[in-house]
Structure 1
Amino acid sequence: MKLLFIQLPRLDPDVASPGENNMAAAACLRTALARSDEASHWTVCETPDVQDAASDARLLERIVDAAPDAVAATCYLWNVERTLSLLRHLKRRLPGLRAVLGGPDIARNHPVLADARRRRGGPWDVLVVGEGETVFPAVLHHVRTGEPPDFSGVAWRLPDGAVQEGVQPRRLRPLVELLPSPDDPANRPDAAGMAYLETSRGCPLRCAFCCYNMRRTSLSCLAPDEVRKRIRILRERGAREIRLTDPTFNAHPHFDEVLDALVCENGDHALAFFVEIRADTLTDAQAARLAEAGVAEAEVGIQSTDPRVLALIHRPLREDRVLRGIEALLRHGIRPTLDFMYGLPGQDEGDVRRSLEWLARFGDRIHPQFLPTLLLPGTELRDRAAELGLRAQRLPPYRVTATDQLASRQLAAIESWANDALGAFDSPTRRFVGARLPDLFASRIARRLDGGGDPPAVVAQANRQAVVFSGADLFEQREAIARTLRRCVRDEPHILWQFVLAPETEEPLDLLDDLVAELRRLPGHWLDRLVSPPGRRRLAARRLFVRLPRGAHGDPGWAEEAEALLAEHFH
């Protein structure tokens, strides 16, 4: 039988971003299969090389050509809706296909999966909550033979459409037994020189908003010598930056020895490391050693300045020790990223203002992140939302829209304060109107409108697709343009679209108003929900641009008005 791993990428509207889509979960699952008796029954197909760039229709054809018997998909909040949509289309083309879903966004009572859970013939056949390596061979055995994978955290669909959940406890195995061997071909950097390394799994913290620990209740770590070996191989294979994916890097019980390993393998600083740490337990000597090892950035989660709020989210810290750890990082040349959250239970406007002031004291010595609270599936905060007075978006990214202390309008005002103090979400658009538009996607489809009815259908090739409409009188063709917009989004609702008007002369601004209204009527996208403050919807996934004729001397006032109009609606 044939098995295919997929992990749809997070789509970034910023053309300057190379994008990242590290399939570490697939590598671990493939290793778990290879080390099991089930391996002899399966052939693993290579993931299509167009996965990270193709439109859904194009990727669908590549997967259909591979004709797998089973697909194992890793789901995050940014790809779960798209993954389910792709699987629905795949199952129509490959009726015998079985789909196994896992990943950070898979949890019991998941809002997106709930509908499919009750529907016979839904897009998934098996769900795995938490780390999947120890149960994956049993899941594939079930796919092949029908024998139930009776383990806690595993759910499977019965022939009548009902869902059964396993009850037997899983065996927790040491991390070194779950990862591919250091010299496995999967352990290599991507095309940009970025590599990932997991030195520990699990987390000693039990933050109510987080499931970063893969729902492990214990911590398992690689030995320092194993860390050294893996870094050496990644470096030999061309890595220039290594992101350590540990939830809390300095929770490693042999942290000082791990730092020695980093220094030993990176004394010349050919590698840059990114880590997440607890500042309140960091010593000055450890900060110095991090710098000596080549750590370029250390992310520190603080979340709030209010002890009552921190107690509600189970995030213990002492402010004086946090400050001491941050100053140690700065003293040794490491610029920390400091994370605060808004929309937490019990948090009032005073705590938010104190948090902003707390960040402002460091000026440009730090990289501040002031993040909206997300009610992630499987977290305590989501399970206790009603009790704590939290309301949130039903669909990803599950942003909190009101709390026991703050109404939606207050959260929107808080976001405005944060934008003024720290800067807004990074905008992917430098210019909406101009003869040169630096933020257009590389994949572009041209359509000429000359009053002869609708243009030919647009078939997206990429998951970041631009469509350029040209013609002598686009205002007169606005209904044809609107119909094309609707068809594009209907056919490919989960990719990113740019719709570019290329008029020969200035058009009435009503044309832009009409098309903005058309885009606002279309179904939402997770990216829009991420960047939109409570009570106001901004569009990031489907944007409108105007490309002016080169060398034309039009009215600058018209271009300024058009720019302001589009900037008001689009991100």
Structure 2
Amino acid sequence: MTPRSDILMIQLPIPPLGSQAESENVPLAAGCLAAALPPQLRDGGERIAIFPGDEVGTLGDAALLQSIVQLEPAAIGFTCYLWNIERTLWLCRQIKQRLSEVAILLGGPEIQPDNRWVWNAGGFDAAVVGEGEETFRRWCEVRKRRSAWADAPGLWIGPKFTPPRRPAPPAQLTTLQSPYTAGLLTPRETMWLETARGCRYRCKFCAYHQGRRTIRPFAEAELRANLRLAIRRGVREVFLLDPTLNQRRNFAEFIDLLADENRDHQISFSAELRAEGIDSALARQLRDANFTEVEIGLQTVEPAAQAAIGRRVDLDRFARGAKALRAAGIRTRTDLILGLPGDTIDSMRRAIDFVVDHELFDELQLFPLSLLPGTPLAAEADRWKLQAQQRPPYYVVANAAVNWIEIAELVEETQRRLGIEYDPAPLPPPYSESEGEAGTNALWLTSNTGANGCWTMRRVDLDRVPRGGRWRAAFAAPPYPAISATIYLRSRRFARVQHLAADIVRFLIDQNPFVTLTVVLEAIEHPEAITAEFVAELHAICREKITYLDRMLSVQTDRRRGSRRIVVAVPDTYRAHLGRGWMRSIESWANIIWRRCPPARTRPTDSAPEK
């Protein structure tokens, strides 16, 4: 349980694609801010609590809101990424309705001067652009006197959010303690670790180099202390978060340091590299230090696109580097960006051909171009005729030569070519009656709850639901859904309960707009009563509130994919009695799964379908 605090720090997770909640939601930014505070603030003046990443990573919207409100913090700090900013802003507004005096501070990559929709969203009091250590320290000193907030350098203060009088100075990284060694974060299987900040490259699709024209390393002693802590804690992987690890001038000596602290290979290392800077000797040195996986970005092979984004790539050197890494036994994830200015469908296909034909990857990652706030490319969108989503992930849906349909078809073509599926989501398991919690609604409602008290699976017997809307009380009260939940709507006579099913789905989404939801229609009898028109209506309800996950999956041609999807579960004894026309019409909107059921309960009858 998160302790009560003056300041509560929260980082919301990446939304899950299926039934598995995000397990690696490490609130590193919050830990860094707290660790940078002087002792008199961290240990005496302010009680700071970091909402545990594993806990926040499992709670659905209503449950998370309730947990935060019950803690009654004086202030809340949210770390904002493109995958969580919309949910964060929704929570801010909900919290303000219940705790009107709480001060809410936002920071993270999504907080950029040009990201106007965020500034106009409401629900928060101040924000930090860029590094936050110095701004957060000063804000903590003056937090209780709002009139003095302007003294905090780099702080954008609402409601007008005008640029601050003084920018925040960069943190002195060599003096900072890690949140791990400070005891603020406990590493588990993976430790996410910064060793330096800054990037000497000038890729226009990225904002990391803005204001950071030099590489600023953390202290060597602190790095060694983190690695020793990781080994003592039984950490299996250290993911080095530097934007490009081998941009260091002393890269070989740095790898020797990692190897020196990891002589028994208890931990493996992962990082992002520029393949052009790797030769066979460096690849072997990386493997000797126990690097087991790296990510390398080719992005494009088209010279015009490389010039447009400010990232020149020598293809021969890239190929040599990628092959050296793979020859050394290091798993290599190779990235391509789709939709860059200057790229065409043919040039993007050439890039895929290049990495496939030369065997330059163990895993090929295709990323649609994101027009990220704060990046030079976002400022040049009109020049390059880039059309993009107005909300995260800000995917470019067209450039001067290609549109999103062509991009989606290229992604599908690549999946077939390589025999892979990007972002797969498993179908839901059968509901287990033995795990249900009956409670007072045993006749029509049962739930399977997890360790956090949220339900992950809930079954509703539509034939027994109380009429007159009385069912809403059960859905508005605990237990609430988890961040990923499956609801089974069951009936013998779906023709009679379609409006009820639609009302339940809409109510659940209204209460939990960012929960990843699977709606399973369980036909006990007469599955033909589940019509394509009814499933299409449910699909429309599921798309009334579009989320990050919906936009992320929009590059796939399968319209059934999204933050909410529909599954029709049919007794397998009906398989021979349902025509292909019915199946095709349903599969336009939903997945069909066939359940093995006791014949006595599911035997098809000779009766005519219900009207």
1:554 matches 2:558: no
1:28 matches 2:29: no
Q: Deviations over 1:433-481 (max 9, x none)?
A: 9899xxx997112211116535723243311121111222123201100
Map 1:8-19 → 2, pairs under 5 A: 8-15=12-19, 19=23
How much does 1:36 deviate? 6.5
Map 1:125-136 → 2, pairs under 5 A: 125-136=125-136
State the partner residue of 2:123. Answer: 123
The worse-fitting range, judged by mean Cα deviation, of 45-54 and 127-136 is 45-54
Question: Which whole-Å CA distance do the structure 2 matches of 1:565 and 1:207 have between them?
Answer: 46
Question: Which whole-Å CA distance do the structure 1 matches of 2:103 and 2:521 have between them?
Answer: 43
SS of residue paired to 1:168: coil
Map 1:365-384 → 2, pairs under 5 A: 366-384=362-380
State the partner residue of 2:550. Answer: 528
SS of residue paired to 1:196: strand
Return closer, same or farther for 1:378/1:425 CA change in 2, 3 Å cut-off.
farther
Contact between 1:242 and 1:272, CA under 8 Å: does it hold in 2?
A: yes
SS of residue paired to 1:257: helix
1:155 matches 2:156: yes
How much does 1:413 deviate? 3.3
State the partner residue of 2:65. Answer: 60
1:508 matches 2:528: yes
Decide which of 468, 471, 475 is 1:456's aligned counterpart: 471
How much does 1:162 deviate? 2.7
How much does 1:90 deviate? 0.7
1:485 matches 2:483: no
Question: Which whole-Å CA distance do the structure 2 matches of 1:517 and 1:484 have between them?
Answer: 13
State the partner residue of 1:188. Answer: 186
Return closer, same or farther for 1:514/1:78 CA change in 2, 3 Å cut-off.
same
How much does 1:140 deviate? 3.0
State the partner residue of 1:119. Answer: none
Unpaired runs of at least 5, structure 1: 117-121
Q: Letter of the aligned partner of 1:545 in structure 2?
A: V
Q: Letter of the aligned partner of 1:177 in structure 2?
A: T
Question: Which whole-Å CA distance do the structure 2 matches of 1:168 and 1:365 have between them?
Answer: 46
Unpaired runs of at least 5, structure 2: 433-447, 451-455, 592-611
Q: Deviations over 1:522-563 (max 9, x none)?
A: 2212101101128985532111123345xx522257498777
State the partner residue of 1:335. Answer: 331
SS of residue paired to 2:294: strand
Q: Which entry has the higher C-alpha Rg, 1 or 2?
A: 2
Question: Which whole-Å CA distance do the structure 2 matches of 1:199 and 1:379 have between them?
Answer: 23
How much does 1:294 deviate? 1.1
Q: Deviations over 1:277-320 (max 9, x none)?
A: 01111132111011111111110011000122111111122111
Question: Which whole-Å CA distance do the structure 1 matches of 2:49 and 2:64 have between them?
Answer: 14
How much does 1:137 deviate? 1.7
Question: Which whole-Å CA distance do the structure 1 matches of 2:518 and 2:143 have between them?
Answer: 41
Question: Which whole-Å CA distance do the structure 2 matches of 1:362 and 1:338 have between them?
Answer: 12
Map 1:256-275 → 2, pairs under 5 A: 256-275=252-271
Question: Which whole-Å CA distance do the structure 1 matches of 2:68 and 2:331 have between them?
Answer: 43
Question: Which whole-Å CA distance do the structure 1 matches of 2:75 and 2:166 have between them?
Answer: 24
Map 1:358-507 → 2, pairs under 5 A: 358-363=354-359, 366-422=362-418, 426-431=422-427, 443-450=456-463, 453=467, 456-457=471-472, 458-459=475-476, 460-507=480-527
Map 1:223-242 → 2, pairs under 5 A: 223-242=219-238
TM-score, normalising length: structure 2 = 0.84
How much does 1:422 deviate? 4.0
State the partner residue of 2:436. Answer: none
The worse-fitting range, judged by mean Cα deviation, of 360-369 and 253-262 is 360-369
How much does 1:188 deviate? 3.2
Question: Which whole-Å CA distance do the structure 1 matches of 2:360 and 2:567 have between them?
Answer: 33
Question: Which whole-Å CA distance do the structure 1 matches of 2:169 and 2:395 have between them?
Answer: 34
State the partner residue of 1:355. Answer: 351
1:50 matches 2:55: yes
How much does 1:331 deviate? 1.4
TM-score, normalising length: structure 1 = 0.90
Return closer, same or farther for 1:354/1:297 CA change in 2, 3 Å cut-off.
same
SS of residue paired to 1:508: helix
How much does 1:167 deviate? 3.2
SS of residue paired to 2:574: coil
Question: Which whole-Å CA distance do the structure 2 matches of 1:84 and 1:111 have between them?
Answer: 13
Return closer, same or farther for 1:530/1:538 CA change in 2, 3 Å cut-off.
farther
Return closer, same or farther for 1:432/1:23 CA change in 2, 3 Å cut-off.
closer
Question: Which whole-Å CA distance do the structure 2 matches of 1:89 and 1:47 have between them?
Answer: 18
Question: Which whole-Å CA distance do the structure 2 matches of 1:258 and 1:562 have between them?
Answer: 62
Question: Which whole-Å CA distance do the structure 2 matches of 1:428 and 1:162 have between them?
Answer: 43
The worse-fitting range, judged by mean Cα deviation, of 319-328 and 413-422 is 413-422
Map 1:300-315 → 2, pairs under 5 A: 300-315=296-311
How much does 1:69 deviate? 1.0
Q: Deviations over 1:140-175 (max 9, x none)?
A: 345321213356753101xxx333321323322332
Question: Which whole-Å CA distance do the structure 2 matches of 1:474 and 1:455 have between them?
Answer: 20
1:170 matches 2:168: yes
Contact between 1:370 and 1:418, CA under 8 Å: does it hold in 2?
A: no
How much does 1:349 deviate? 2.1
Return closer, same or farther for 1:195/1:482 CA change in 2, 3 Å cut-off.
same
How much does 1:363 deviate? 4.6
Question: Which whole-Å CA distance do the structure 2 matches of 1:358 and 1:220 have between them?
Answer: 35
Question: Which whole-Å CA distance do the structure 2 matches of 1:71 and 1:362 have between them?
Answer: 50
Return closer, same or farther for 1:31/1:149 CA change in 2, 3 Å cut-off.
farther
Contact between 2:181 and 2:225, CA under 8 Å: does it hold in 1?
A: no
SS of residue paired to 1:529: helix
1:109 matches 2:110: no
Contact between 2:35 and 2:184, CA under 8 Å: does it hold in 1?
A: no
State the identity %: 29
Aligned CA RMSD, in angstroms, stands at: 2.8
Contact between 2:178 and 2:222, CA under 8 Å: does it hold in 1?
A: no
Contact between 1:36 and 1:137, CA under 8 Å: does it hold in 2?
A: no
State the partner residue of 2:601. Answer: none
Q: Letter of the aligned partner of 1:165 in structure 2?
A: P
Q: Letter of the aligned partner of 2:131 in structure 1?
A: E
Q: Letter of the aligned partner of 1:344 in structure 2?
A: L
Q: Letter of the aligned partner of 1:478 in structure 2?
A: Q
